[in-house]
Structure 1
Amino acid sequence: MIRGLYTGASGMIAETIRTDATANNLANVNTAGYKKDVAVNTEFGEMLLYRVNDGNNTQAVGSLGRGTQIDEIATIQAQGVTRQTGNDFDLAIEGPGFFAVETPAGVRYTRNGTFAKNVVGDLVTQDGNRVLGQNGPVRINGNTMTVTETGQILVDDLPADQLQLVGFADEQQLTKEGSSLYAAAPDLQPQPAAGRVLQGHIEGANVNVVAEMVNLINSYRTYEANAKTVQSQDQILDKAVNEVGRV
């Protein structure tokens, strides 16, 4: 009975984490370049039960599950829907790849191409981080900026720089840091990306609102079922202690 309490509680904890991930997806449905998270379950190791007090004729009863846990929060890097904005500083990547940006913590990567030009002419993110090209931070010393599908930057129709479009062999080793930024593991080396750049476009979040709402309801129902399991186990334990054992 005590084991049953822990099994039900593990399910409640797992569904709480899953609900947090789903709620975060819904909160970022309008965030450009956002990639949804999925909670991946795994079970605790099963326990093999045996009949006891049968003399030398001990027999296996069967296996018993001991609950569940969240193994990881996986990020789904599927393409989001692109929409046209008409703003020359808005850039979207169609296909694999990330923009490289300079932050106080080092180089980070993003799919959010909602860029702007700051007062000194640098191409920056919404948080003021400078976008990186092959020659360092991208500087727009002119009136117009044109970006080709390969990431070449033209300022006043003259070649100025080349965007750093990078990809990774294992994107699951990227870690979300907030503000649409990803950090790469120390042993994960960036490589040239095969995606193409769309100027005047923004990539939307790859979140399906209806599907996430269904997931949220399902998580709530599962949490509720586990909570009832804990309540039932508690009631049985109460009877075992206060009634069955009464002399």
Structure 2
Amino acid sequence: MLRGLYTAASGMMTQEQRHNTVTQNIANLNTTGYKAVNSVQRSFPEVLVSMIGGNDPSQTSRKLGKFNTGVYAEESISLYTEGALRETGKSTDFALVSSFSVENPATGENVAFDASGRYVDENGDVIYRPEGFFTVRNENGDIRYTRNGSFRVSPDGSLLSEAGYQVLDNNNTPIVLTGSARNFTVDEQGQIIDADGNGTGTYLGISIVSEPHGLIREGNGVFRMNDPDGEVRFMTAADNGEIRQGFIEGSNVDPTQSMVELNAALRAYETNQRIVQYYDKTLEKAVNEIGRV
């Protein structure tokens, strides 16, 4: 009897985690550059139930069948699909538009990724779609990555992110605008053009992360590498990516789908809750009534 109680309880905890993930997405519906999170559930491994002994003394045990012990929230996966672009007209706002391709070594053709940015080949190996990020440096001097291109210029000419981090160029050097470069424009490759129309040779540092699902969120739309030795390189002219000045990238959260998932999580939670209440009443009756006999 208690097995069912534990199964229902694990279902409640899993749906609570799912509910928290969806509400986090909804809360960041209007956050610039926010990437939605999906909660992945998985069932616990099945166990084989056997009866020891029984009516036949020649058999030490008899198999009764398999038994499932519930589900759990395995992980949270970020979706790096691009959000809708919104024009602001500000010279310090930038949006990254990219579609980086990966060649399948077996066929020589470009890999067709699924909605989550993954491709599983015939050998079961997973290939991730590379994603581009603006490169910034926090107050501790650590390199971080963000899709939030809403920048500003400090009084000393430093280009700063919305969180106040230094924006880096393609040499991991903080970008400082001086002289005519303060009235700047940026071309599609990310090169800063001064007020006289001359290229400064300084490019916005667009980092291409080969396995973005290995990134860890730090809040405020900022990510860090889980593996310091992970493959990261700067975008070049050969890559299929461009910078759009005067635009920002919106959140990629689908509000309709989020509301559907929220209601589904609430219904599943309530169902498991009723099962727990049923077991509670059954155990109460077993203790208070049957136990008296």
TM-score by length of 1: 0.95
TM-superposed deviation, 1:189: 2.8
Unaligned residue ranges in structure 2 (runs of 5+): 99-130
TM-superposed deviation, 1:15: 0.9
TM-superposed deviation, 1:245: 3.1
Q: 1:43 is matched with which residue?
A: 43
Q: 1:145 is matched with which residue?
A: 184
Aligned pairs, number: 247
TM-superposed deviation, 1:148: 1.1
Task: Give distance in 1, aligned partners of 2:14 and 2:26.
Answer: 19
What amino acid sits opposite 1:159 in the alignment?
Answer: G
Q: 1:18 is matched with which residue?
A: 18
Equivalences for residues 145-184 of structure 1 within 5 A: 145-156=184-195, 157-160=197-200, 161-184=202-225
TM-superposed deviation, 1:149: 1.1
Equivalent residue in structure 2 for 1:82, among 77, 82, 85? 85
Q: 2:150 is matched with which residue?
A: 114
Question: Contact 2:170–2:206 (CA<8 Å) still a contact in 1?
Answer: no
Equivalent residue in structure 1 for 2:136, among 101, 109, 115? 101
Task: Give distance in 2, aligned partners of 1:218 and 1:104.
Answer: 41
Task: Give distance in 1, aligned partners of 2:278 and 2:20.
Answer: 26
Unaligned residue ranges in structure 1 (runs of 5+): none
Equivalent residue in structure 2 for 1:134, among 170, 175, 194? 170
Task: Give distance in 2, aligned partners of 1:60 and 1:79.
Answer: 52
Moved >6 Å (runs of 4+): none
Q: 1:239 is matched with which residue?
A: 285
TM-superposed deviation, 1:158: 2.4
Question: Contact 1:140–1:155 (CA<8 Å) still a contact in 2?
Answer: no
Q: 2:55 is matched with which residue?
A: 54
Please list the CA deviations of residues 67-93 of structure 1 after superposition, one character each: whole Å capped at 9, or x if unmatched. 111110110111111121111110000
SS at the partner of 1:97? strand
TM-superposed deviation, 1:140: 1.5
TM-superposed deviation, 1:199: 0.7
SS at the partner of 2:185? strand
Q: 1:219 is matched with which residue?
A: 265
Task: Give distance in 1, aligned partners of 2:139 and 2:7.
Answer: 44
TM-score by length of 2: 0.81
Q: 2:232 is matched with which residue?
A: 190
